[in-house]
Structure 1
């Protein structure tokens, strides 16, 4: 019974491992092709990594801009709320003043109508 190992199935050892007696040598052209393939995959992996790094940097920048915008909006909202409180107090004071004027005018009318009846 003979064992056949295709070049694709051959394992390339590294370090101090000894080759087995039954190991089939892998042709140099196959090793070169595999090396080229691995180099290509490494290059593609590095390109993907760099692209992801750029996307992450872009996302961080958008996040920073959004946080700054949120801070500005919160500040503006606080200013608007303070202005609304001042206006509400002014309107309330004006209403109280107008109610006092109306009350005095009604009193004067009541006195005037009482005096005209006499």
Structure 2
């Protein structure tokens, strides 16, 4: 014997309404959660953008410093080459003077 329960039409309608309200409430809560996550994501994106700007500024300063150092190094290298040439010329001159003095000395000894 099958037992059939008769549900009053008002109760069935009320149950469907409750289910629909719960589904709407669940959707609202999920929507609010997604909005919070979106807000956090946008905040992280903005923080990342600010950090990127700071890094780019530091990179720009480092590049400027590198250019200045390269320029100074080039000037120092040019000065070092000039000094080396001057010292070489002085050594050649001193060697020439020493050679002449040595020849004069040999000539004086043989006389």
Question: TM-score band, normalised by the shorter chain?
Answer: 0.7 to 0.9
Q: Which has the higher contact order (CA 8 A, sep 6+)?
A: 1
For residue 65 of structure 1, the aligned residue among 61, 64, 84 is: 61
The two structures, once aligned, show a CA RMSD in angstroms of 1.3
Gaps of 5+ in 1: 1-23
TM-score by length of 2: 0.78
Q: 2:47 aligns to what?
A: 51
Say if 2:38 is the partner of 1:42: yes
TM-score, normalised relative to structure 1: 0.73
Moved over 3 A (4+): none
Shift of 1:27: 2.2
Cα distance in structure 1, aligned partners of 2:33 and 2:73: 59
Identify unmatched segments of 5+ residues in structure 2: 1-18
Q: Which has the higher helix share?
A: 2
Is 1:88 matched with 2:88? no
Task: Count how many residue pairs are aligned between Structure 1 and Structure 2.
Answer: 92
